[in-house]
Amino acid sequence: MISFPNCKINLGLNVVRKRTDGYHDLETVFYPLPIYDVLEIIPAISTTGNDVAFTATGIPTGANDENNLCTKAYQLLKKDFPHLPPIQMHLHKTIPVGAGLGGGSADASFALKLLAKLFDLNPDDRKLMELSLVLGSDCPFFMINKPCFATNRGEILNLLTIDLGQYKLILVNPGIHIRTAHAFSQVTPTTPEESIKEILQLPISSWNGRLKNDFEAPLFKQYPEIGKIKDELYEAGAVYASMSGTGSTVYGIFEKEKNVHLSFPSHYFTRELNL
C-alpha cells in the first residue's frame, strides 16, 4: 500500500514562551503544499528477525533505520496493537530535510495512517492524534492536513479558512540543514503584539512587516544566504515572502499572472506551485 506524504509551510510563526517541559508554546498557521514523498508499506515477505525492514531512496535523511520517524511510528503503534505483523517499508524522499517543511513529520503521520488502514487496526482519530504528537509537535497537523491555526506546541489545531487561490508560490531551499533544537536555542520567546490569526484576516499586501517568523532574525544572521533568498523574492515582485518554520526554506507568494525571473545556484531546491 502506498501513500504520498506532503509538506507544509508556516504562515507566520511566533515563539511565545518556554514551557516547563522543555518545549515552547507558539502560534502559527500550517498550510499544506503539494510536494510529496512516497511511502510504501507491505507485510514482510520473509522474517529477518526485525519487525521493520526499512529502505530509503532519494534525498538522504541522515537518520539510521532505528531513528527514522517512520520506523518509530511502527514501534509506537505496536505498543497498542501487539499483533501488528512485521513489515517492509520503503520511503522515497523528495521533500528537503531540515528545511522547515515538516517532511519528516509528514512521513511519520502518514506511516501511522497507512499502517492502521493496511492492517485494519481501527484506532479512533483521537488515539492517532495522541500517537502522532509523541513523534513530533507538528505531526498532528498532518493527520488533518488542511490549513490550521496552531497553538501550544503546535498540536492544538483549529481549521482556518484562508483562500490563496489567486496566487502562486515559489519555494526555495538552499540545502542548509537546520536542526529544530538549534533553531529554538537562538530565539527569545516574546508575546506578539498582534495575533497571526488576526493578521491573516487582512489583505495579503499588508502582511509584509506584520506577519513574522521569529526564527528569521537569528538564523539570517547565522546564515546570510537564507536572508538573501527572501530579499531576492521581494525584488522579483513577491506580495509576501517568509522563511518557513525553523528554516532553511524560504517562500514567496506572487500574483498568479506575474512572470517571475529568478536565478539561484543549481544546487538549490526550487519549486513553483499554484495555491
Look at residue 61 in the predicted model and tell me its pLDDT: 81
8 Å CB contact between 212 and 240: no
Q: Rounded to whole angstroms, how far apart are CA atoms 97 and 49?
A: 30
CATH class as words, domain 162-274? alpha beta
Look at residue 124 in the predicted model and tell me its pLDDT: 87
Look at residue 48 in the predicted model and tell me its pLDDT: 66
Catalytic residues: 8, 138
Look at residue 200 in the predicted model and tell me its pLDDT: 95
Q: Where are the domains of the chain?
A: 2-158, 162-274
Domains 2-158 and 162-274 share a fold: no
Q: Rounded to whole angstroms, how far apart are CA atoms 260 and 239?
A: 12
Of 31, 15, 12, which Cα lies nearest the Cα of 243? 12
Least confident of 40-44, 59-63, 139-143: 59-63
**Percent of residues, the chain, with pLDDT higher than 90:** 91
129-169 pLDDT, tens digit per residue, is 999 999 999 999 999 999 999 999 999 999 999 989 899 99
72-125 pLDDT, tens digit per residue, is 999 999 999 999 999 999 999 999 999 999 999 999 999 999 999 999 998 888
Domain topology for 2-158: Ribosomal Protein S5; domain 2 (3.30.230)
Look at residue 63 in the predicted model and tell me its pLDDT: 65
Q: Is the pLDDT assigned to residue 64 strictly greater than 70?
A: no
Going through the chain in order, the beta strands assigned E by DSSP cover: 2-3, 6-18, 24-36, 38-43, 52-58, 87-93, 148-151, 156-159, 167-173, 240-243, 250-255, 269-274
